[in-house]
Chains A and B, each alone.
Chain A
Amino acid sequence: MSNNLQDKIETQEYIVNMGPQHPSTHGVLRLMVNLEGEIVKNVDPVVGYIHSGIEKMTESLAYPQIIHLTDRMDYLSAHMNNEAVALCIENALQVEVSDRVKVIRTLMAELQRLASHQLWWCVMGMDMGALTTFFYGLRDREMILDIFEETCGARLTLNYSTPGGVMFDLHPNFQKRVKEFTKYFRKVLPEYNQLLTGNVIFKERTVGLGPLSKEDAIAYGVTGPTGRASGFACDVRKHNPYSAYDRVQFNEILRTDGDTFGRYQARIDEMYESLNIIDQLIDNIPEGDYQAKMKGVIKLPEGEFYQRVETARGELGVYILSDGKKNPYRVKFRSPVFSNLWVLNHLIKGQKIADLVAVMSTLDLVIPDIDR
């Protein structure tokens, strides 16, 4: 009798809309989750809720004006975005920036990467239900923001790199503050591990969840710590060094597990590497101009220009098509988060819906970078 009844009961497939207003999508991403019971059959991300037409806007702006818009794309890696456009313009004009500028940019980029990973860490903990991480992460992040504020006046949207250099010279306190911070943060980082990494509940929820193979990572174009956790050697800093990355020693974090915990661990390890890079550079910042001589109105020669940098989330590419005028003809950003997002369906298919949030937070999504 009961067997017959079981045969008659059917589980209906239904669609749950997650977002656009949902705290775990880190912005206004909408996910159409196709469910059979608890099992996720399909995830269909709907983007565009924060589209602001930055690429189109750039066509009516002069080159130095583009940079402040890139702050608003991936606001957690604001400096790397600025740097990408500045480097692209410098390459096109074949301007050689001084060593000082290169080192300043590298230092700022690594500080920015640390700040970004700290925020990712505290939000990841919060997504999994650990509110304590939120307070720990943001407490330490404020120290970096103080350094930024002293250097360029802004906490979040730095707008510090300009074509040919940086906006201002370093503040006299910069070295002292950064050394204080690295000393402090080396002490605190093991605390992060004690709090979350070794936590049994956290491990139960993340180890083995949503594995991504190296082949799939390459096929989907997944870059950054997400791709490197699967063994895809894609660190632009290592393989195509820009700024001062050719003069520092650091390891490219490569892992083989590629699951949610692997992606988590890859970012934690990257924080140590960033501290190493800062330590190598902070004592020998060369003297020199902080801004190369540039023309008042910057006009790029006709042609196509491409520059890629490593942001905190992966590989950012800036493509500029110039027709020789003071405005670009077309600008295209290859944003890391856009490519990383579409692997979500592949990762979560067949898993429980409760794991969706855990998998999504290790992709480290920043929605304005997806939509631009």
Chain B
Amino acid sequence: MGVKPRKKDGGIVMDDYPIVAEYEGGSIILAQFDKLINWARSNSLWPLTFGTRCCAIEFMAAGASRHDFARFGAEVARATPRQADLIIISGSINYKMAPVLKRLYDQIADPKWVIAMGACAVSGGPFFYNSYAIVKGADHVVPVDVYIPGCPPRPEALLYGIMQLQKKIRAERNYSAPKSK
């Protein structure tokens, strides 16, 4: 059979997977279910508009004309957690806000990811010492996948963080057995 990798069509799935049969209207490819799902998930991350502090402005800047994270499939910022699958915690979380963040995280349907953007969300940042109000890092409240340092991080840093998260999602194993050592 003419099972050969086909490069010319571009696209992530087409690059990696062989064509089993070709028809007039298209072709059938053979892919691993896991990789196909990860490819789809990683390229359509919908972030929640959850901005608390200055980082939210850089988050907006990353979504606007110059930086434009729509290029990486993360442009649809949703206002409700029920439609989102990524929280970008942009800003500090204090003890009054922590239960709200936990509730928002719980309301997001699985699979869900969290990016801690900026020093406040990573560790408390400038409010680490002497502040009675700030939670010293958002990871005390919700599990965090990617940490982006900076106060505030540049939009490019946020783009890099999103790309790192995509890398992480592409390596996830949902249906296949875990790798044995």
Contacts and interface: CB of A to CB of B under 8 A. Distances in A.
Interface of A: 20-23, 27-28, 48-54, 56-57, 60-61, 68-69, 71-72, 75-76, 119, 134-135, 138-139, 141-142, 145, 155-157, 367-368
Nearest to B107: A21
Given A50-B92, A56-B130, A138-B64, A156 B97 contact: no
B61 interface: yes
A69 B97 CA distance: 20
Contacts of B31: none
B131 interface: yes
A53 B65 contact: no
B19 to A, nearest CB: 40
Interface stretch (B3-11, B51-59, B138-146, B173-181): B51-59
B66 A139 contact: yes
Contacts of A48: 94, 96
B138 to A, nearest CB: 13
Contacts of A57: 127, 129-131
Contacts, number: 101
7 contacts: A21-B81, A22-B79, A23-B79, A54-B131, A119-B57, A134-B60, A367-B52
A52 B133 contact: yes
A173 to B, nearest CB: 19
B68 to A, nearest CB: 9
Interface of B: 48-54, 56-58, 60-61, 64-66, 79, 81, 91-92, 94, 96-97, 100, 104, 126-127, 129-134, 151-152, 154
Contacts of A75: 53-54, 57
A116 to B, nearest CB: 10
A28 B152 contact: no
A60 B134 CA distance: 16
A355 B56 CA distance: 24
Contacts of B97: 20, 28, 49-50
A179 to B, nearest CB: 21
B100 A142 contact: no
Given A51-B133, A138-B64, 5 more contacts: A50-B97, A57-B130, A68-B126, A134-B60, A157-B151
Contacts of B126: 68-69, 72
Contacts of B127: 52-53, 57
B31 to A, nearest CB: 36
Given A28-B97, A51-B96, A138 B54 contact: no
A137 B81 CA distance: 27
A157 B65 contact: no
A57 B127 CA distance: 8
A65 to B, nearest CB: 10
A138 B152 contact: no
Contact of B52 (A28, A60, A142, A155): A28
Contacts of A51: 94, 96, 133
Contacts of A21: 48, 50, 81, 100, 104
Nearest to A61: B130
Contacts of A134: 60, 64
A134 B66 CA distance: 12
Contact of A72 (B49, B53, B56, B100): B53
A138 B151 contact: no
Contacts of A53: 127, 130-134
A50 B52 contact: yes
List the 7 shortest-distance A-B pairs measured between CB atoms, nearest first.
Answer: A138-B64, A75-B54, A139-B65, A23-B79, A53-B133, A57-B130, A49-B97
